[in-house]
Amino acid sequence: MTDGQRPGIVVVGASLAGLRGAEALRDGGYDGPLTLVGDEPHRPYDRPPLSKHVLAGELHPDATALPQLTRLRAQWRLGLPAVALDRDRRVVRLADGATLPYETLLIATGARARPWPGEGADLAGIFTIRTLEDARSLRSALALRPSRVLIVGAGLIGCEAASCCRDLGLAVTLVDPNPTPLARLLGTVIGATLAGRMRASGVDLRPNVKVVAFSGEDGQVRRAHLAGGADIATDLVIVALGATRDTGWLAAAALVADPGGLTCDAACRALTTTGEPDPAIYAAGDVARWPNPLTGGRLVTVEHWGNAVDQARHAAANMLAPPTGQVEYQHVPSFWSSQFGLNIKLAGLTEGAEALAIVQGSRASHRFLAVYGRAGRTVAALSFDQARWLPAYAEAVADGAAFPPILGATDQPRIETLEPGFPSPRRSSGRSVTALETAHA
């Protein structure tokens, strides 16, 4: 078989993970055919600016195209989603009926915004923020100066959108069923600090509030109806209820896949329903659920920029390695978020933390470094405008250091330990109003 006839490697998902994975394959010496499939018509672009500078009108949506760092010599199949995977025949089927054979497959299909699940979903003026087109249409709508923006969900995206709307001078109401913003991610103690900052910026923050339906006039949203009977007048709604992983196209592939992710082994190989990994299929980025050694092998998905890059590069290296040379993927999840003039960064997983210690700075000053402890170990470090301290504490997280990790430094006063105040786990029944910015299965 000549090189031109070999199917080679197919990457499904022309995303940050897909692009960095493809580059790593070339950098790793792979010289065969390489195909990238993307459901959107765009070359890979960067999502973090979409909920910030693109909404604010400071960046043109097209400016978010990601730099390519290596010559790819790839075939691009953009604007066509993959709709099915046939593992027996080793082909990916595309929406136009075409089939794409592969020798090895990298799945980087990511996630999509959870749409409004309740009544009124078909009204005009209801937006989500996930794709370039989402950001483009929301930006156009904000430029028309709506009289009140209602944001449902105070996770990272909802909070960033609220910050942008205030920067634009728009009236904004932010509702969330939890007692504070970012409550599930950071706990209510830290959330209360952010809540204060938001209110000072003029956000009408409504915690402990659930929206149950939207209604409108002439097909345009006008009112949000709350549990308990009250309502809020609005002419533009941003639904920020997290994301579901894009695994629908794998339904008939006999892989362990559901809206929570595609389960992989520690080497990023997709698990089949028989429990064995498929040695020809790898996954990376938002879509991949894997037993992170850092979490004691508990399955996690990590929907953050850094994981898309690192996991794609790791999976690519394993794709090129022999079966005996597969390396497990260990990762400290990290994210950043800029909002209300603050730079918020986290390293680690806060889930299950029962203790919180402010180790540098103070909450009152809105500049601090906090660490989260679980069973006597340091599991996460959080920075509010203290980014230079974070790497030292991120190392402590990676090492599973005792909590709190650094005691008795000469520049430190007595360290206060608090309960982080995570809301009780949400019920899985019924309609879920969730803020799943980092959904850890």
Partner 1 sequence: MRVVVDLNRCQSYAQCCYAAPEHFEVRGHEILFYDPAPPEAKRSQVERAQQACPVRAIAIEPAGLAEGDEP
Site residues (CB under 8 A) for partner 1? Answer: 14, 36, 43, 46, 48-49, 53, 58-60, 62-74, 76, 78, 305-306, 309, 334-336, 338, 341-343, 345, 367, 385, 387-388, 390-391
Q: How far is the CB of 39 from partner 1 (least distance, A)?
A: 13
CB of 77 to partner 1, least distance (A): 9
Minimum CB distance to partner 1, residue 395 (Å): 14
Minimal distance, residue 368 CB to partner 1, in Å: 12
What is the closest distance, in whole angstroms, from the C-beta atom of residue 336 to partner 1 in the complex?
5
Radius of gyration of the chain (CA): 22
Residue 5 CB, shortest distance to partner 1, in Å, is 22
Residue 206 or 366 with smaller CB distance to partner 1: 366
By C-beta, is 37 or 256 nearer to partner 1? 37
Q: Of 53 and 223, which CB lies nearer to partner 1 in the complex structure?
A: 53
Least separation in angstroms between residue 365's CB and partner 1 is 11
* Shortest reach from residue 376's CB to partner 1, in Å: 27
Q: Which is nearer to partner 1, 35 or 295 (by Cβ)? A: 35
The nearer residue to partner 1, 53 or 206, going by C-beta atoms, is 53
Nearer to partner 1, 244 or 360 (CB): 360
**Which is closer to partner 1, CB of 8 or CB of 216?**
8
Residue 164 to residue 191: CA distance in whole angstroms: 19
Considering the complex, state which of residue 173 and residue 307 has its C-beta at the smaller distance from partner 1. Answer: 307
